[in-house]
């Protein structure tokens, strides 16, 4: 399959007569696969055929780039830049069959703070009621999915009333990023969108005791930017949940069908977790990882487990986090992934003599670990101990930090492979802010 950007480029370079020879359904399929509707706008000027077919696209996806933002602020270029909102409005107003709309700012703009720039404009305040009311009515009847990633510098001090507008749509998917709401607004989501199956709320500020109560919800991603007193999720059909928050006073999750759960908490004090009968995949992240793990009842359904703590090695809990205790709570784990903080904490605990033999270690078949190598002898001793306890382990994947000297990395690899030939060894590199890189798969 051709990359969509390559498709749009080939369309832009094609002669009108060539485009007229292509079957209209094929052209429309190509237009529907464009990841960036900015390409769609450019395709419209290529030929009458493209322009005519473009009004039948089913989705519009437009995000403001950092380059467009900076040029719109520069005295030398701002008069040459078409306002982002105008481009989006024109795309929507000339597309009659739109079912999905996604608009926002690109990632570099999300990192800007109000302290970095003085920007009291609203040209990128994308949940502004006046702006949304200009484009929504023309597509509201068919719209099933809305995604708005706002510009936090402009939206953080403006409470949005956008939900009162989009409540007229029969949505099954709603995504709101970097927007200020209150508990009353979130209650409106529960009341106005009973058919929601996908709900994503990322970087939402202003909430105090938020509650999600949706009967048909199946997938939810919720990142709370402030520290609310309590969070409640009531979703009897929820299957996948990704939840990131700080230290709520209480956390209530009633989702009996949940099978994939990612939970990130700064601290897990006064947190009680009920048993999830169908939970298969669990990811836990916390500075106080031991406390978070201890709140879970013994869960025998977990097959895939991931744990991480960014500061585990620097806290008093470092000597308490051992893999034996972890796998006592999740005794049927087949695949275990350890972030760098979790690995370092477990290694510290082992070196301090706090690790004991656990029956849960025998169920593990695969381990993926991100590690520093501060002392190669301690690291090797810990690895060999894990290999001994995990007698059914068949796959060991170690990602070593990129700043570790290559001679130390080579020494570690050589000695690991010589020590245990029964497992399939995989090697890679990792670094903060970068994608993992596998350098050897299946030696």
Q: 19, 41, 57 — which closes off a domain?
A: 57
Residue 173 CA: distances (Å) to CA of 17, 280, 325: 39, 24, 39
Q: Is residue 266 part of a domain?
A: no
- Average pLDDT of the chain, as a whole number: 84
Residues 347 and 414 in one domain: yes
Residues 168 and 31 in one domain: no
Q: Is residue 116 part of a domain?
A: yes
Highest mean pLDDT among 15-29, 211-225, 256-270: 211-225
268: three-class secondary structure by DSSP: coil
Q: What is the mean pLDDT of residues 180-189?
A: 87
Q: Is residue 78 part of a domain?
A: yes
* Cβ contact 116:107 at 8 Å: no
Residues 15 and 128 in one domain: no
pLDDT of residue 270: 64
Residues 23 and 157 in one domain: no
Residues 86 and 26 in one domain: no
Both structure tokens of 296: 């879970």
Residues in the chain: 443
Give the contacts of 400 (CB within 8 A, at least 6 positions apart).
371, 372, 373, 409, 412, 427, 428, 429, 430
* Cβ contact 325:331 at 8 Å: no
Tens of pLDDT along 232-248? 999 999 999 999 987 78
> Comparing C-alpha atoms, which of 283, 345, 361 is closest to residue 310?
345
Q: Is residue 219 part of a domain?
A: no
> Is residue 28's pLDDT more than 80?
no
Residues 305 and 425 in one domain: yes
Residues 46 and 5 in one domain: yes
pLDDT of residue 281: 97
Residue 249 CA: distances (Å) to CA of 181, 269, 275, 429: 20, 8, 20, 38
Give the contacts of 414 (CB within 8 A, at least 6 positions apart).
none
Tens of pLDDT along 413-429? 999 999 999 999 999 99
pLDDT of residue 203: 85
The set of long-range contacts for 26-31, using a CB threshold of 8 Å and a minimum separation of 24, is 27/53, 28/53, 28/56, 28/57, 31/57
Q: How many CB atoms lie within 10 A of CB 71?
A: 14
Distance (Å, whole) CA 131 – CA 127: 7
End-to-end Cα, the chain, rounded Å: 31
Residues 359 and 327 in one domain: yes
Q: Is residue 203 part of a domain?
A: no
- Confidence grade of residue 37 (pLDDT, cut at 50, 70, 90): low
Q: Residue 442: left if φ>0, alpha if ψ -120 to 50, beta else—which one?
A: left
Residues 325 and 378 in one domain: yes
Residues 38 and 68 in one domain: no
Q: What is the mean pLDDT of residues 67-91?
A: 90
pTM comes to 0.85
> Is residue 387's pLDDT more than 90?
yes
Q: For the ranges 115-129, 216-230, 251-265, which has the lowest average pLDDT?
A: 115-129
- Confidence grade of residue 288 (pLDDT, cut at 50, 70, 90): confident
Q: Is residue 41 part of a domain?
A: yes
Residue 299 CA: distances (Å) to CA of 199, 296, 432: 27, 7, 31
Q: What percent of the chain has pLDDT over 90?
A: 43
Residues 90 and 9 in one domain: no
DSSP codes, 317-336: GGGG--HHHHHHHSTT-SEE
> Comparing C-alpha atoms, which of 298, 264, 296, 302 is closest to residue 281?
302
Q: 143, 158, 180 — which closes off a domain?
A: 180
Q: 122, 148, 180 — which closes off a domain?
A: 180
pLDDT of residue 34: 66
- Confidence grade of residue 95 (pLDDT, cut at 50, 70, 90): confident
The domain in which residue 417 lies consists of: 272-277+284-443
- Domain count of the chain? 3
Q: Is residue 431 part of a domain?
A: yes
Residues 291 and 417 in one domain: yes
Q: What is the DSSP letter of 206?
A: S
Q: Is residue 238 part of a domain?
A: no
């Amino acid at each position: 399959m051709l990359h969509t950007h390559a498709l749009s480029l080939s369309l832009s370079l094609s002669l009108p007569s060539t485009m007229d020879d292509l079957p209209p359904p094929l052209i429309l399929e190509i237009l529907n696969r464009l990841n960036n509707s900015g390409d769609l706008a450019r395709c419209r000027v290529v030929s009458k055929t493209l322009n005519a077919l473009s009004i039948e696209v089913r989705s519009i996806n437009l995000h403001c780039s950092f380059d467009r933002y900076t040029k719109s602020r520069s005295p030398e270029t701002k008069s040459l830049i078409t306002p982002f909102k105008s481009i989006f409005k024109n795309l929507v107003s000339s597309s009659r069959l739109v079912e999905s709309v996604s608009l926002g700012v690109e990632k570099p703009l999300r990192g800007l703070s109000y302290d970095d720039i003085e920007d009291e404009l609203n040209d990128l305040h994308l949940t502004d009621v006046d702006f949304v009311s200009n484009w929504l009515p023309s597509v509201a009847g068919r719209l099933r999915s809305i995604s708005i990633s706002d510009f936090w510098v402009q939206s953080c001090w403006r409470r949005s009333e956008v939900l009162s507008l989009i409540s007229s749509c029969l949505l099954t998917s709603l995504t709101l990023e970097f927007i200020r709401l209150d508990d009353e607004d979130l209650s409106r989501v529960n009341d106005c969108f009973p058919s929601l199956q996908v709900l994503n709320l990322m970087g939402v500020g202003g909430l105090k005791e938020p509650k999600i109560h949706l009967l048909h919800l199946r997938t939810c991603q919720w990142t709370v930017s402030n520290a609310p007193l309590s969070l409640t999720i009531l979703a009897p059909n929820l299957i996948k949940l990704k939840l990131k928050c700080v230290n709520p006073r209480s956390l209530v999750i009633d989702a009996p069908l949940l099978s994939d759960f990612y939970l990130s908490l700064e601290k897990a004090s006064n947190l009680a977790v009920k048993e999830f009968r169908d939970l298969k995949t669990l990811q836990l992240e916390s500075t106080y990882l031991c406390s978070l793990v201890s709140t879970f009842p013994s869960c025998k359904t977990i097959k895939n487990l991931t744990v991480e703590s960014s500061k585990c090695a620097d806290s008093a809990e470092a000597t308490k986090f051992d893999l034996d205790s972890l796998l006592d709570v999740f005794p049927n784990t087949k695949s275990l992934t350890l972030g760098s903080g979790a690995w370092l904490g477990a290694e510290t605990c082992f070196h301090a003599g706090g690790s004991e033999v656990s029956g849960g270690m025998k169920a593990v078949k695969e381990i993926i670990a991100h590690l520093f190598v501060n002392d190669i002898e301690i690291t090797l001793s810990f690895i060999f101990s894990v290999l001994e306890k995990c007698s059914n382990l068949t796959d060991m994947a170690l990602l070593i930090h990129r700043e570790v000297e290559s001679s130390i990395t080579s020494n570690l690899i050589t000695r690991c492979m010589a020590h245990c030939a029964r497992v399939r060894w995989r090697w890679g590199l990792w670094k903060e802010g970068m994608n993992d890189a596998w350098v050897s798969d299946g030696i």
